[in-house]
Structure 1
Amino acid sequence: MEKRLPFFLRGLEGSDWLNEERGRRLMESRTAEQSSGRVRIAIIAPSLKWVGGQSVQADLLVRHWQNDPAVEARFVPIDPTLPRWLVWTGSIPYLRTVLRMPFYLMALWRALGEVEIAHIFSASYWSFMLAVFPAWLVARLRKRKTVINYHSAEARDHLRRWRSARAVLRRADQIVVPSRYLVEVFGEFGIESRALPNFIDVDRFSYRPRRPLRPRLVCTRGFEPYYSVDVVVRAYAEVKKKFSSARLVLVGKGSREAEIRALVRDLELADVEFAGVSSRETIASAYAQADIFVNASWLDNMPVSILEAFASGTPVASTAAEGIRHLGAGTRLEAGAKRLSRVLALLLVGRPRAVVAGLSVHAEVLGPGARAQSLEAGSGFAGRGCGWRTNR
C-alpha cells in the first residue's frame, strides 16, 4: 500500500499529473532494483533552459556519471516544466515561481525516495530559500544525506544577513564550493566546506596557441551589474584607438543589455557584435574565433568562462575579483577600464607573459586525465569513503 503524501503535496491528490507521476515512480523503482550496489544520487540544480554556471556543472556531472559503474545519477530541475495549461505563466516571474513550487516539491519527494544522496546546487538569498531549503528539508524528511554545492560569490553578504541560511548549511552533511576563496568565506562563519573546483568538458574546446595575438576580443559574461560588461566596452574603446582592426564580441544577455547597447552607441564604437546567448554546443566557437578573453567582474568566484578560455588557448585579461585571484596563472588581474585596456595593449604589442601563463595553465589544469580526476573526486565525495559528517 502506497504511503500517504506529505502535507505540502496533498492538494495534488487525484490529479492526472499525480497519477502519471505515480506510474513513472513505479517504473523507476523497478529500474533502481536492477542497479543495486551503485551509489544513487539526485543532482538538484537549474536546468539548461537558462545556461549558467550551476546548470552547466550539473549537466556535466549527470552526463559523465551516466555509465559510471559505481554511481547512478538523476537530475531534478529546480525549475520544472509546467503543464501545458500553465505554460502561459512562464513569462510572469513571481507567478511562475509560486506555481512551480508544488511540482518541484513533488519531484523532490519522488526522486529523494529512490536515492541515498541529495546533491543540491546553491545560489544565494531568495534563490537559496526557494530552491535549496525545500530540497534540504525533503532530504531530511526522507532521511537522505545532503551535499550543498554552493556557487555564489555573494556568500559573505548572504551568510551575514541570513541566519536561516547559516542554520541550513550547518546541518548539511557536506558543503562543497568551487574555490578556496569560498572555503575561506565559509570559515569566517565557522562553517566547514570543501573545495571541489569547477570543471569543463575539454572535448568541446580546441586548444590553439595565439601567435601573434590579434585584437579580437570576446566576453561571455551575462549583462548583469556584477559582471561589469560596461567596463569591458570602455576598455575596448581605448584599445580601438590604438588598434583600428580591433573587434569585440559580447556573448550573453541580461538585465543591463539595453544600457550596454546604449553605451556602445554613445561611444560611437564600431565592430562590436552582440551575439546573444550561446548554448553549450556553440560556446566553443566564440573562444575559437577570438584571441583574448576579457572579464571585468567586480564580484566573482571561479568562472567557468575563464576555464573555457584556458581550454581554448585564449589568454585572459581580467579584473581582480576576489575569487579570480585564486586562479593565479593565465590571467592578468587589473581593475578598471583604463588599467584593463593597458593590459590588453601590452598583450597586443608583444609582451608574452600572459600567453606563456595561459599555456602552463592548459598543461597543468586541463591536461590529460584532469577530467577523470575531477569525476573521481566528485564520485568519491558523493559517497564512497568520504567519511560523512554533519557540520554542526
Structure 2
Amino acid sequence: MSTDPIPSEADLTALPHSSRYAAESISAECTSQALRVLLVGPSLSILGGQAIQAERLLRQLRHDRRVVADFLAVNPELPRALRWMQRIKYVRTIVTSLAYWKHLMTMVPRFDVLHVLSASYWSFLLAPAPALAAAKLFRKKAILNYRSGEAADHLGRSSAARWLIRRFDQIVVPSGYLMDVFARFGLAATVIPNIVDFEQTRFRQRAPLLPRFLSNRNLEPLYNVGCTLRAYRLIADAYPEARLDIVGNGRERQKLEDLARELNLPNVTFHGQMPPTRMGEFYDAADIFLNSSDIDNMPTSLLEAQACGLPIASTEAGGIPYIVKHEETGLLVARNEPRALAAAAMRYLREPEFAARVIEAGRVAAEKYRWENVCVGWIHEYRRVAGRQ
C-alpha cells in the first residue's frame, strides 16, 4: 500500500503568518473586534495526538469570525541550507529550540491569547515553558492545554512543572481523567474534549461483523501493541480468516514485526504512519478496534472508531474508562491481559445483538466531539482569560 506524504509544518500553516493573514483575509473592523489566538504546539511532522488536534483546532478557528488564529510550531523547520543540523542528535534539539524561541519573540506580541499544547517531562520544559516566559514578557494571557496520559507521574516527580503550570492563566485538559489527576496536586483544570473530524470519519453499519481488526496507535512502549498481537494470535486460532491492520510507527516497530513472525500471525499488515486524511480508509475497512495501551489519556483513535461504527475492545488504562463505558459503548479489560482482550473482541463476533447496541451507543457518544460542540468551550475560555466576557 502506498503512503501519502505526511503533511509538514508548511501544510499546517498553509495560510500566511498572522500579520499577513490578518491584513489579507480579515477586514480591519472584524480584526479589531476578534480575539487574536496563537496556537503553540507540534506540527504534523511529529504525527501524534497533539499535532492532529492542533491542526484540527487551527483549521476550524480560521473559519470563526470571532477569532484570528495562527500557529507556531515548537518544532519549526530551519531554512533549507540549515536543515542538515536537524538530523544530528543533540544539535537538533539546540537549533530547533533556538528557532522556536526566535519565533516566540516575533509572533507573541501580535496576539491576545496563547493556546499552548503540552506533553510531559522534557517536552514540557522545551515547549510550554518558553511559551509561558514569552507570554509573561509581553503581558499576554496563556492557556495550558495539557494532554499527556503520564501527567500523574510527571506532576508527582517535578515540583518545577507544578510551579510553572500554576503561572498559566488557565489549565485546560481533554478529559475528566486528567482533571482528576490535576486536582490531586491542587491544580484546577477545565475539560474541553478532543475534536473528531467527521468529514474524515464515515459511519458504516456493520452487519454481520467480520473478524477484521484495526490497531491505530504509535508503536511505543506505553501503548503495548505487543499485547494486541498476542490477543490476535488467540483470535486467529478461533477465526482463521481474521485480519489485523496495524497503523502507526515508533521505536518498537521492528520488535513488534519480529513478535508477529515469532507468533506466526496470519494476515497481519504493518502499514506504518498514515496522515489523518488517510485514516478513514482504515476505519472503513475494519469491523472491530483493538487497543491495549498501558498508559493513556483520551486517545482520539478510540473516539474516531466510535464515530465510524467500530466496537472497541480496549484496556482500561488511564482516561479510557472516562470515554468508553464498559458494556455500554465498548468493552474494557485489565492491562496486559491478551486473553481477556481476545475474549472481548470475540464476544462482538459471537453476540451480534450486543455488538449492535454497543455500536449505536458509541456512535451517539461520539457526537459530543463534533467541532460545533467543542468550539463553545474554547471560545468561552479565550474570551474569559482575555477579559472579553
Question: Residue 6 of structure 2 corresponds to which residue in structure 1?
Answer: none
Partners of 1:261 and 1:279 lie apart in 2 by 21
- The structural deviation recorded for 1:50 is 2.0
Structure 2: which 5+ runs fail to align?
Answer: 1-16
Deviation track 1:332-357 (CA, whole Å, cap 9, x = no partner) reads: 00121010011112111125334412
Distance 1:25 1:267 in 2: 53
Aligned to 1:97: 93
Contact 2:169–2:385 (CA<8 Å) still a contact in 1? no
- Aligned-partner Cα distance in 1 for 2:224–2:218: 9
Distance in 1, matches of 2:181 and 2:22, equals: 40
- Judge conservation of contact 2:330–2:362 (CA < 8 Å) in 1: no
Alignment of 1:23-102 (within 5 A): 27=20, 34=28, 35-102=31-98
Partner Cα separation in structure 2 for residue 348 and residue 179 of structure 1? 30
Match of 2:110, SS state, is coil
Q: Say which one has the larger Rg.
A: 1
Following superposition, which runs of at least 4 residues in structure 1 exceed 6 angstroms of deviation? Answer: 385-389
What is the aligned residue count? Answer: 365
SS of the residue 1:73 aligns to: strand
1-structure distance, mates of 2:20, 2:242: 57
Cα deviations by residue, 1:301-328 (Å, 9 ceiling, x for unpaired): 0000001101111111101112001112
The amino acid of 1:186's aligned partner reads: F
Contact 2:209–2:287 (Cα < 8 Å) also in 1: yes
Distance 1:265 1:349 in 2: 28
- Give the 3 Å change call, closer, same or farther, for CA 97–234 of structure 1 in structure 2: same
Residue 363 of structure 1 corresponds to which residue in structure 2?
A: 364
2:11 maps to what in 1? Answer: none
Q: Which residue of 2 aligns with 1:331?
A: 330
Distance 2:234 2:277 in 1: 32
The whole-number CA distance in structure 1 between the counterparts of 2:224 and 2:364 is 30
2:346 counterpart residue number:
345
Shift of 1:93: 3.5
Partner residue of 1:374?
374
For 1:182 and 1:226, the matched residues in 2 are separated by: 17
CA distance in structure 2 between the partners assigned to 1:38 and 1:252 by the alignment: 38
Q: Following the alignment from structure 2 to structure 1, what is the Cα–Cα distance between the partners of residues 300 and 20?
A: 36
Asked if 2 retains the 8 angstrom alpha-carbon contact of 1:380 and 1:386, the reply is no
Corresponding residue for 1:130?
126
Of 109, 116, 128, 2:112 maps to 116
Q: Distance in 1 between matches of 2:212 and 2:261?
A: 20
Secondary structure at the aligned position of 1:93 is classed as: coil
Map 1:290-329 → 2, pairs under 5 A: 290-327=286-323, 328=325, 329=328
Structure 1, unmatched stretches of 5+, are 1-23
The answer to whether residue 155 in structure 2 is matched with residue 152 in structure 1 is no
- What is the distance in 2 between the residues matched to 1:220 and 1:212? 23
**1:28–1:310 CA distance, 2 compared to 1 (3 A):** closer
Aligned amino acid, residue 362 of structure 1: R
Whether the 8 Å CA contact 1:117–1:382 is kept in 2: the answer is yes
* CA–CA separation in structure 2 for the residues paired with 1:195 and 1:88: 40
Q: 1:387 offset after TM fit, Å?
A: 6.6
In the TM superposition, residue 363 of structure 1 has moved relative to its aligned partner by 2.0
The aligned residue for residue 268 of structure 1 is 264
Q: Deviations over 1:152-175 (max 9, x none)?
A: 011011011111110111111000
Q: TM-score scaled to structure 2, two decimals? A: 0.90
Q: 2:229 aligns with which of 230, 233, 252?
A: 233
Letter in 2 for 1:333: L
CA distance in 2, matches of 1:388, 1:355: 46
Distance 2:96 2:27 in 1: 30
Q: Identify the residue that residue 244 of structure 1 maps to in structure 2.
A: 240
Change (3 A) 1:111 1:37: same
**1:378, distance to aligned residue in structure 2 (A):** 1.3
Q: Is the 8 A contact 1:25 1:110 kept in 2?
A: no
Once the 2 structures are TM-superposed, how far is the Cα of residue 70 of structure 1 from its aligned partner? 0.6
Preserved contact between residue 66 and residue 72 of structure 1 (Cα < 8 Å)? yes
Return the match for 2:282 from 277, 282, 286.
286
User: Could you tell which deviates more after superposition, 95-104 or 348-357?
Assistant: 348-357
- Displacement of 1:29 in angstroms is 7.6
Task: Give the superposition deviation at 1:385.
Answer: 7.9
CA contact (8 A) 1:332 1:354 kept: no
Aligned-residue RMSD, C-alpha: 2.0
Asked whether the equivalents of residues 202 and 366 of structure 1 are also in contact (C-alpha less than 8 Å), the reply is no
